[in-house]
Amino acid sequence: MSNIYISLVSEKINSADSKKTAEKIIEFLSERKIVKKNLSDCVLGSSKGYAPAENYRNAIEKSELDFSELKINGIELITERQVFDNGGNGLEEVNCPNCGENNIENDWGNSLGNWHSGIDTDKIKCQKCGTEKSITQFEFKPTWAFGNFGITFWNWTKLNPKFVAELEKIIGTELKVVNGKI
């Protein structure tokens, strides 16, 4: 069975602030009883996450949905530099921030690897207009995001926009929404 996920990503938080921000978010979510306070095995992979608590429905749009019985249903906090891709959902466009040209045939994968490793040569030159910018400034369709901080919701359905706005207020930056499947 495949798992879906939604990642909310801040592309602006620096690595020094990401752990502090994660603590604030967990405090907020556990106080509201959206997730449990303790880590458990409820996310995909080797890391642990926070399982949904009694009020998790307040965070989603279709509150009649029930995923509390799923094995993978927790949220995961990511506090290190990461490429938040959309998993097996396919990528269609990598668009130049200057002219909009789709650079999907360009060597963007290499630049993205460099960005992830913290190497400076993360720039890519647009095939059409020649603009050279960090690959993270190109627009990926469907949405990908690049940053030091993210919250991944495993098997949660569409989040309530009011809930996302509350998180943005606490975090202090806007959040990009990445929808993925694995």
Sites of contact with Zn ion (CB under 5 A): 96, 98-99, 101, 126, 128-129, 131
What's the min distance (Å) between Cβ of 132 and Zn ion?
10
Looking at the Cβ atoms of 127 and 157, the one nearer to Zn ion is 127
CB of 32 to Zn ion, least distance (A): 44
Helix, strand, coil distribution of the chain in percent, nearest 5: 25, 30, 45
User: Smaller CB distance to Zn ion: residue 97 or 109?
Assistant: 97
- What SS3 class is residue 106? coil
Q: Closer to Zn ion at the Cβ: 45 or 97?
A: 97
Query: Please, which residue, 30 or 131, has the CB nearer to Zn ion?
Result: 131
Which amino acid, residue 52? P
Return the structure tokens found at 127.
């095939």
Longest CA–CA span in the chain (Å) reads 53
Choose among 94, 90, 115: nearest CA to 106: 94
Contact 116, 110 (CB under 8 A): no
Q: How far is the CB of 133 from Zn ion (least distance, A)?
A: 9
Q: Which residues pair with 66 in a beta bridge?
A: none
Q: At its nearest, how many Å lie between Zn ion and the CB of residue 144?
A: 18
